[in-house]
Amino acid sequence: MQSGAQAVVSKKAVWAGRVLSGLAVLFLIFDASVKALKSPFAIEATRQLGYPESVVIPLGLIEIVCLLVYLIPKTSVLGTILWTGYLGGAVATHMRVTSPLFTHTLVPIYVAALLWLGLWLRDNRVRAVLPTS
């Protein structure tokens, strides 16, 4: 590889990154939608986590903004950072109410891992900051 040249990302890696990112995005679209539409499921889940019903729509709107930032290629790194913060808060919330570890508390970490790995596989900027060697 030449000095200063960006590493060539294989088509397989790019597609794997798109698939992983897509899985995370589908989950996050569902989560944002049920909150933004104030579904009974979202209201009940929010109450069980100790939050008032009044936060459901604002949380959904925050998720939509984070998704839009993530889905724009030029701002996808910022979107991933925003999601990491949001999902960290979700982990803290589940820890506070002693939710089951693998099925509730760690789910936001699984989603964040999909976002970061998907972005790493398809974006040279992220590979440059987080190299494997």
pLDDT at 82 over 60: yes
Q: Between these two residues, 2 and 105, which has the higher pLDDT value?
A: 105
Q: Where are the domains of the chain?
A: 11-120
User: What's the confidence (pLDDT) of residue 119?
Assistant: 97
Buried (b) or exposed (e) across 1-38, using 16+ Cβ within 10 A?
A: eeeeeeeeeeeeeeeebeebbeebbeebeebbebbbee
pLDDT category of residue 132 using cuts at 50, 70 and 90: confident
Does the predicted TM-score (pTM) go above 0.75? yes
Tell me the per-residue pLDDT of 16-60, one tens digit each, with 9 for 90 and over: 999 999 999 999 999 999 999 999 999 999 999 999 999 999 999
